[in-house]
Amino acid sequence: MNLIELIKSRRSIRQFQPKVLDHQILLDCIDAARVAPSAANRQPLHYILVTEREQVDMIFPLLRWAGYIQPHGDPQPGQRPTAYLIVLIDEEIGEKWKYHDVGAAVENFILAAWSYGIGSCWLASVNRSALRSFYQIPAKYTIDTVVALGYPAEEPLLEKSDETVRYWKDADGQLHVPKRTIDAIVHLNGFNRKE
């Protein structure tokens, strides 16, 4: 699969196989995040990689999943993530563009993981105070987001839609994910120009 196909085939995964992820592969994916663009090359990001089963289980209830279809989008028992990446920002070196750094780094990480067949779900609805307390994260670090990881146990379908962005599950439990069409978002040589 080439890079464009890899990017276009990636979907958020919320149902996972109960298979352990290779530690070295996950470190390779973090290394891909490490080399992402960084504003003024400040590199304010740090990561907590969580793979121990007890910690993975502890983190699960601290996250909220799939708001449009809750609770039907929550990972089911036996299909929960097998690892997490907690993304931290060092506020002493982070600048006003730090969230751009997060976006670039996490996307690199997610795509690197997908290249190994590892699915992910990037979560912003997180109980940050519980995570900070459990991991004793110093105050200078902001907990930005958490990426749930595991081998996929579902295959969400891409739908083209300019009418809605709300994903849904059909009667068979198949997840459908609408994305706006390219014609709806591209403005050639000026706004609302198509030629």
pLDDT at position 186: 87
Pair (170, 121) in one structural domain = no
Residues 164 and 138 in one domain: no
CA proximity to 172, closest of 154, 151, 159, 150? 154
Token pair of 97 as six digits:
């563009």
Cβ-based burial of 106 (10 A; exposed 0-12, middle 13-18, buried ≥19): buried
**pLDDT confidence of residue 195:** 59
Q: Residue 119's pLDDT is what?
A: 98
Of the residues 154, 170, 185, the one at which a domain ends: 154
pLDDT for the residue numbered 194: 58
Instruction: Kindly report, residue by residue over 27-36, the tens digit of the pLDDT.
Output: 999 999 999 9
Element containing residue 47 per DSSP (H, E): strand 45-50
Model pLDDT, residue 64: 94
Print the domain residue range for 147: 3-154
Quote the pLDDT of residue 193.
62
Whether residues 99 and 194 fall in one domain: no
In total, how many domains does the chain have? Answer: 2
In a shared domain, residues 142 and 161: no
Give the CATH number of the domain where residue 100 resides. 3.40.109.10
Q: What is the pTM of this model?
A: 0.93
> What parts of the chain have a pLDDT lower than 50?
none
Give 6-18 pLDDT, tens digit per residue. 999 999 999 999 9
